[in-house]
Structure 1
Amino acid sequence: MAGEITETGELYSPYVGLVYTFNLIVGTGALTMPKAFAAAGWLVSLVLLVFLGFMSFVTTTFVVEAMAAANAQLRWRRLQNPKEEEDDDSSTASDSDVLQDNYGQAEKLPILSVQRRGSPNLFEITDRVEMGQMASMFFNKVGVNLFYFCIIIYLYGDLAIYAAAVPFSLMQVTCSAASNDSCLVEADSKYNDTDVCWGPVRRVDAYRLYLAVFTLLLGPFTFFDVQKTKYLQILTSLMRWVAFATMIVLALGRIGRGHGEGHPPLADLSGVRNLFGVCVYSFMCQHSLPSLLTPVASKRHLTRLVLLDYALVLTFYSLLSFTAIFCFRGDSLLDMYTLNFARCDVVGLAAVRLFLGLFPVFTISTNFPIIAVTLRNNWKALFHREGGTYPWAVDRVVFPAMALVPPVLVAFCTHDLESLVGITGAYAGTGIQYVIPAFLVYHCRRDTQLALGPGALNKHRSPFHHTFWVASVLLWALFCCFFVTANIVLSETQL
């Protein structure tokens, strides 16, 4: 499975890359998808899911092409100025240490304007060029700042979702268990926040208490440097797969025994707004592709690998969501799908109910500090000036607080996970998944022709290489934002 060690890390086979990419795509968004499916109707949901999956695949091929173009330009610079490149490599390495593993800040070197035919080997993806570095190579200063702004907004949304999901799960499990000794979540799981949890404590008070404990336990990690270990990744991936497989099998068994309660509508346009954002969020992977795909040992069929990944993800999402909406009534589906299996009338074994009910707590808690540190470092990169350093208080207090406080405040005000996921996906997710890859591939094609000549052939060129596809992606992104905004305005007007 693993191969030789290079400066990009340990190489692994395409099949391992397939699994890593699949694990990246299938995350928290999948747990909110069943409720969104039930609200929008099964046919509308299926059509939209397939279409958004296709659009995400298109922009993923854009990112792969931009990665190859960035490698070609870096390799060409080394050929032209080997001594200067060594100096640049050392400075880039220090930037990578600051930005950790997802978003790098590259030296802003000019693009070479040498009109020569490029060798196909120039486009081998061997150097890990993160999205931030590609933005620095292909965008102007305004574009780079907009890129970091979009990434920061997305990470804020991510943290708000995580900060709400853990206390919400704990509240649902413990409050229901306090009122019913035999079940973690009662059959009728629709409560008001003002309902009693235990003693004089209301459910909303319990939620905020858990949020405070969550913040006190995990928040301090934002002020230090943490990295995701290989063993932690293996553990959380294993737990995720056990949980998802268990839910699908339990739902299928319940439907097979004739106990399915769901009768989802064919279409309900009022639920499409949240479905948009949830689906966009659930296909998010573009920002981490350089870290995942660069170590793949053989990239000969990289596009086919990505296509297979998306086919598997579509199949998995469809299986999870369709079993959910036919197993449970639409009005009984909770924001966190795992909580539907914490009912004793659905799962008889108490250990399984406890595992599924608390599953988001274990997996999300391990990711929260890593995303918070990534957000903190992106704020540093956005305000960074060449040769400048930050005072200790700004570096160790202000930036971590900027990363931690806003999402906790959002989670304090609401635990509506479906809306949080929908809004994050519809706006910041649209920027990362559609807008940034489209502009990256457009500018990298233009700069590659200027640097290497019009005859340079990118071996990892996207199958959607016509400019029509770039324009279509941008138009679709504009439509998504317009549609979601219009629906939000209409909803507020009706209220």
Structure 2
Amino acid sequence: MAGEITETGELYSPYVGLVYMFNLIVGTGALTMPKAFATAGWLVSLVLLVFLGFMSFVTTTFVVEAMAAANAQLRWKRMENHQEEDDDSSTASDSDVLVQDNYERAEKRPILSVQRRGSLNLFEITDRVEMGQMACMFFNKVGVNLFYFCIIIYLYGDLAIYAAAVPFSLMQVTCSATGNESCGVEADTKHNDTDPCWGPLRRVDAYRIYLAVFTLLLGPFTFFDVQKTKYLQILTSLMRWVAFAIMIVLALVRIGHGHREGHPPLADLSGVRNLFGVCVYSFMCQHSLPSLITPVSSKRHLTRLVFLDYVLILSFYGLLCFTAIFCFRGDSLMDMYTLNFARCDVVSVAAVRFFLGLFPVFTISTNFPIIAVTLRNNWKTLFHREGGTYPWVVDRVVFPTITLLPPVLVAFCTHDLESLVGITGAYAGTGIQYVIPAFLVYHCRKDTQLTLGYGTVNKHRSPFRHTFWVGFVLLWAFSCFFFVTANIVLSETKV
């Protein structure tokens, strides 16, 4: 089908899709994970990481099943429309021209439309149906609005994390309280925002200057569309894997040479709140699955490949975090793990120190405009009315401004990246990763049975097909909401 190929874009093999999914999941959240591991204790962290990875895999299979069900619904409607056109054409005229026209239409029509009761190909994932479209198909109006609200809050959290991470990294690399600027971040010094940076400027002043520059350079992209970022994304992905590989190897070398500073506890429940949010954030991929999975050329063993991806990601996270928490003392681990390597006593080569210290600046800066434009478009969709258009000022000024201003203000007030990632993951992340997929798969199953019959089998249905799993995911999500909120309240009460 020509239309479907256009929507899907260029196809790629399942193994290329596996790499793309790995790159999508392993991002900024991984850089904040080592400190959260050290704070919560290695045993508790390992158990929670494995469990949250499993839960993310469950809901990923839910989204894939919902994608297949949405494709079946769209394909069924097209088949119904073709049938109605045929019925109208057959009663309109018996002229040779009309017969020839009907014949040509029949020749162009997909073979699938002839097999009206054959559900074998109905569930092929060929049309890219984004989560917003699936929400409109399977949810009522209230559900759709709640979906967009959750997505918007999550994207705001994303932008706040990005807006804080770049100036924070620049501040840490370029400022020094002891005047030893050439060696970057000191090993044993805990800095305060009021410590001096350059002359009379404090560290917090430098941070806010960097934030202002970051906003002025990247903020204007929010007012336009970001296109043709393919090669930029390839470059940032390459830089990311070089940085991760260097950090893991350096940590292993230091441990092998006897420079093992870390002695993490088995468990410290006070650190579980942030660890939970960081882990949820670090497994986030559900909102991007339609764009990622639809172009995969062969989806026969899709569930197995997704499972393999999660095993590889779990192994990578475990390797990164365990080398970190045993290589560095827990109280010396930075919010951004790369900054631990911007030290002379860890890395003697200045070029490597600055590459790792400034690594978040390069990668995050390329993602910020893309996330900002995505958030702006979600605002437009939320308030869109059928057949209506926005005035120029609303479209080009108001929506970009309400997109850019809140995350910059949050970043201006705090650069506590661990808390930002933890709160974003614990609340909006939980909604996107658990609640939305669970409701999507529940409603898509009901709609599929009503539309296509109770005997219809979705070829991409989740291995967790029993309704118990939907209830279990929702129960876990609401338990997490309660736990995190109670933990925050108790922490504030103690303070």
Moved over 6 A (4+): none
Separation (CA, whole Å) in 1 of partners of 2:6 and 2:301:
21
Task: Output one character per residue of 1:66-121: Cα deviation in whole Å (capped at 9) or x when no partner.
Answer: 00000001011111103999xxxxxxxxxxxxxxxxxxxxxxxxxxxxxx855121
Note closer, same or farther for the CA distance 1:143–1:228 as it changes in structure 2 (3 Å cut).
farther
Shift of 1:233: 1.2
Separation (CA, whole Å) in 2 of partners of 1:41 and 1:446:
43
Aligned to 2:219: 219
Shift of 1:177: 9.1
Note closer, same or farther for the CA distance 1:178–1:228 as it changes in structure 2 (3 Å cut).
farther
Separation (CA, whole Å) in 2 of partners of 1:60 and 1:12:
20
Aligned to 2:434: 434
Separation (CA, whole Å) in 1 of partners of 2:439 and 2:215:
37
Aligned to 1:19: 19
Aligned to 1:346: 346
Note closer, same or farther for the CA distance 1:153–1:302 as it changes in structure 2 (3 Å cut).
same
Task: Output one character per residue of 1:211-246: Cα deviation in whole Å (capped at 9) or x when no partner.
Answer: 000000000100011135211111010000000000
Shift of 1:282: 0.3
State the number of aligned residues.
462
Shift of 1:136: 0.5
Contact kept? 2:342, 2:354, Cα under 8 Å? yes
Contact kept? 1:228, 1:370, Cα under 8 Å? no
Separation (CA, whole Å) in 2 of partners of 1:171 and 1:238:
25
Q: Which amino acid aligns with 1:47?
A: V
Aligned to 1:63: 63
Shift of 1:22: 0.4
Shift of 1:354: 0.5
Counterpart secondary structure, 2:10 = strand
Separation (CA, whole Å) in 1 of partners of 2:300 and 2:6:
18
Aligned to 1:256: 256
Separation (CA, whole Å) in 2 of partners of 1:389 and 1:83:
34
Separation (CA, whole Å) in 1 of partners of 2:308 and 2:228:
26
Q: Which amino acid aligns with 1:304?
A: R
Separation (CA, whole Å) in 2 of partners of 1:445 and 1:183:
59
Aligned to 2:52: 52
Q: Which amino acid aligns with 1:12?
A: Y
Separation (CA, whole Å) in 2 of partners of 1:150 and 1:354:
37
Contact kept? 1:32, 1:336, Cα under 8 Å? yes
Shift of 1:287: 0.1
User: Is residue 208 of structure 1 aligned with residue 208 of structure 2?
Assistant: yes
Contact kept? 1:160, 1:411, Cα under 8 Å? yes
Counterpart secondary structure, 1:447 = helix
TM-score, structure 1 length as denominator? 0.92
Q: Which amino acid aligns with 2:398?
A: V
Separation (CA, whole Å) in 1 of partners of 2:190 and 2:367:
29
Shift of 1:190: 1.6
Contact kept? 2:426, 2:480, Cα under 8 Å? yes
Separation (CA, whole Å) in 2 of partners of 1:20 and 1:289:
10
Counterpart secondary structure, 1:190 = coil
Contact kept? 1:117, 1:455, Cα under 8 Å? no
Contact kept? 2:177, 2:191, Cα under 8 Å? no
Q: Which amino acid aligns with 2:124?
A: E
Counterpart secondary structure, 1:263 = coil
Aligned to 2:32: 32
Contact kept? 2:68, 2:124, Cα under 8 Å? yes
Counterpart secondary structure, 2:11 = strand
Counterpart secondary structure, 2:183 = coil
Separation (CA, whole Å) in 2 of partners of 1:204 and 1:6:
49
Aligned to 2:231: 231
Note closer, same or farther for the CA distance 1:151–1:158 as it changes in structure 2 (3 Å cut).
same
Counterpart secondary structure, 1:197 = strand
Separation (CA, whole Å) in 2 of partners of 1:117 and 1:54:
36
Separation (CA, whole Å) in 2 of partners of 1:83 and 1:125:
22
TM-score, structure 2 length as denominator? 0.92
Separation (CA, whole Å) in 1 of partners of 2:370 and 2:218:
10
Runs (5+) with no aligned partner, structure 2: 86-115
User: Is residue 489 of structure 1 aligned with residue 489 of structure 2?
Assistant: yes
Q: Which amino acid aligns with 2:340?
A: N
Contact kept? 1:65, 1:461, Cα under 8 Å? yes
Shift of 1:288: 0.2
| Bigger shift: residues 178-187 or 247-256 | 178-187
Aligned to 1:313: 313
Shift of 1:188: 2.0
Separation (CA, whole Å) in 2 of partners of 1:54 and 1:335:
25
Q: Which amino acid aligns with 1:238?
A: L
Separation (CA, whole Å) in 2 of partners of 1:243 and 1:13:
26
Note closer, same or farther for the CA distance 1:184–1:483 as it changes in structure 2 (3 Å cut).
same
Separation (CA, whole Å) in 2 of partners of 1:144 and 1:6:
27
Task: Output one character per residue of 1:321-369: Cα deviation in whole Å (capped at 9) or x when no partner.
Answer: 0000000000000000000000000001000000000000000000001
Separation (CA, whole Å) in 2 of partners of 1:429 and 1:179:
41
Counterpart secondary structure, 1:121 = coil
User: Is residue 182 of structure 1 aligned with residue 173 of structure 2?
Assistant: no
Alignment of 1:98-247 (within 5 A): 119-176=119-176, 179-227=179-227, 229-247=229-247
Separation (CA, whole Å) in 2 of partners of 1:10 and 1:118:
28
Separation (CA, whole Å) in 2 of partners of 1:10 and 1:419:
39
Shift of 1:189: 4.1
Alignment of 1:339-378 (within 5 A): 339-378=339-378
Separation (CA, whole Å) in 2 of partners of 1:393 and 1:84:
43
Aligned to 1:469: 469
What value does the CA root-mean-square deviation take over the aligned residues? 1.4
Note closer, same or farther for the CA distance 1:348–1:339 as it changes in structure 2 (3 Å cut).
same
Note closer, same or farther for the CA distance 1:194–1:415 as it changes in structure 2 (3 Å cut).
same
Q: Which amino acid aligns with 1:385?
A: R
Task: Output one character per residue of 1:394-419: Cα deviation in whole Å (capped at 9) or x when no partner.
Answer: 10000000000000000000000000
Note closer, same or farther for the CA distance 1:49–1:454 as it changes in structure 2 (3 Å cut).
same
Separation (CA, whole Å) in 2 of partners of 1:344 and 1:472:
49
